[in-house]
Amino acid sequence: MSDWPDAKIRSTALWYIGKHTMDPPTWQWTLVGAAHPEVLARVELEPCELPLVSFSVSNATWYLLTTRRVLGHHSGRRVRVGALDVLENNFGDFKGHGGAKLQVMTLRLAGGREAALQYETGRASMAPIYYFRYWTIKYPILDKLKAEPNAAPDPLPTFTLPYS
């Protein structure tokens, strides 16, 4: 996938996820824009593939959401799927009612398969939720998005009138 737009996906996805997150320094197990070293030690990224959201509780429970794939491990099952192969996601009680700090997201995948990954509830849950929303809302219009969304828009074209 050498022609895959990893850099543009990273730029636009981090901007999109970042708009919806609050207080990342207070999150216990989730990172945005980086990957936990122990998670990187468990995966082999493809050339140019970049991390977007990382979660790590233990060797048995982790995930890495990248510019191409969803990678992880939960309940003895390894998850390795293309981001575009995730058709639906369900985060259940993402607010952590009753004090639950961890919940399980379920992913419905192309081909009728399902996968499950644990995630951090509360404010940190916005990172994986908006990662998946990015692929359904923003990725389809990637060619229209600016790589640096905060950059000034292109100036209006100038032209000369045919008469003076």
Ordered strands of the 114-120 beta sheet: 86-90, 102-109, 114-120
Based on the structure, what is the number of domains in the chain?
Answer: 1
DSSP per-residue codes, 90-110: E-SSTT-GGG--EEEEEEEEG
CATH number at residue 42: 2.30.29.30
Q: What is the pLDDT of residue 11?
A: 94
Say if 150 falls within a structural domain.
no
pLDDT digits (tens, 9 = 90+) for 96-142: 888 899 999 999 999 999 999 999 999 999 999 999 999 999 988 88
Predicted TM-score of the model (pTM) = 0.87
Nearest to 51 by CA among 30, 67, 73: 67
Say if 133 falls within a structural domain.
yes
Task: Find the domain containing 55 and state its range.
Answer: 6-144
Say if 35 falls within a structural domain.
yes
